[in-house]
Amino acid sequence: MWFVLTADQHASRTRGDRVPAVLKDLHAWARTHGATVALPAERTVGDEIQLVLTEAEAAVDLALRLCRRGEWAVGLGAGDVDEPLGESARASSGPAFVHAREAVERARGRGEPVPLVAAGERHEAAADATAVLQLLGAVVRRRSDAGWEVTDLLTDGVTQRSVAATLGISEQAVSQRVRSAMLEEERRARPVAAGLLRRAGGGKEKRGT
């Protein structure tokens, strides 16, 4: 199974072209998650970007990374692709790409509370995945700068005590920021979203490229 992420920038004519900055960010992310990237992020047409991933968890992570920016409609397509893959996302095709197109078109519409939609062969699972992803998307979009300051520092293996020392605040203040940011709730819900996304694709994940 493959996961295609397609994202389209909102109001690029008034906000300017943010594609180069996003591609730089996604390529930096890929340097530490390379095993999950089948085809790297690229501009496909206009203000749209696309990439292909092999793991649902990576797809969820990147979708929320884009949601955080508040300028993108994001579609996730889960399913098969026409193999072998092309040299780029633009040169590739298959059901997962079709689902990603369907998803981003819906995400661009005003009917979605958060511009993040999943699609796949199993429509009920895709609807469930969308519901959880939109809830997570609402959390990251509403998180304060203070909340993100703590969230970005609390990577694997880093304690709240270390974060407090780095920021020059008390551990109690760090804990309060963690609660306000709903960080633990996000961490627990991410695997649920990934599992539903896999179910939406109707098969097993594709390991490796």
Task: Give the pLDDT score at 186.
Answer: 97
Whole-number Cα distances in Å, 99 to 75, 137, 189, 201: 8, 20, 23, 9
- Between 31-35, 165-169, 176-180, 188-192, the lowest mean confidence (pLDDT) is in 31-35
Q: What is the mean pLDDT of residues 17-23?
A: 93
Average pLDDT, the chain: 93
**pLDDT-derived band at 45, boundaries 50, 70, 90:** confident
Contact at 8 Å (CB) between 7 and 72? yes
Amino acid 163 reads V
Task: Give the pLDDT score at 33.
Answer: 86
Task: Categorise residue 159: left if φ over 0, alpha if ψ from -120 to 50, beta otherwise.
Answer: beta
Amino acid 45 reads V
Q: Tell whether the model's pLDDT for residue 56 goes beyond 70.
A: yes
**45 or 73, higher pLDDT:** 73
**7 or 13, higher pLDDT:** 7
Q: Tell whether the model's pLDDT for residue 44 goes beyond 90.
A: yes
Q: Tell whether the model's pLDDT for residue 38 goes beyond 70.
A: yes
Task: Give the pLDDT score at 209.
Answer: 41
**pLDDT-derived band at 208, boundaries 50, 70, 90:** very low
pLDDT in tens, 109-121: 999 999 999 999 9
| Domain ranges across the chain | 2-143+182-201, 149-181
pLDDT in tens, 133-156: 999 999 999 999 999 999 999 987
Tell me yes or no: is domain 2-143+182-201 CATH 3.40.50.40: no
Torsion sign, CA atoms 132, 133, 134, 137:
positive
Q: Tell whether the model's pLDDT for residue 207 goes beyond 50.
A: no
Contact at 8 Å (CB) between 4 and 73? no
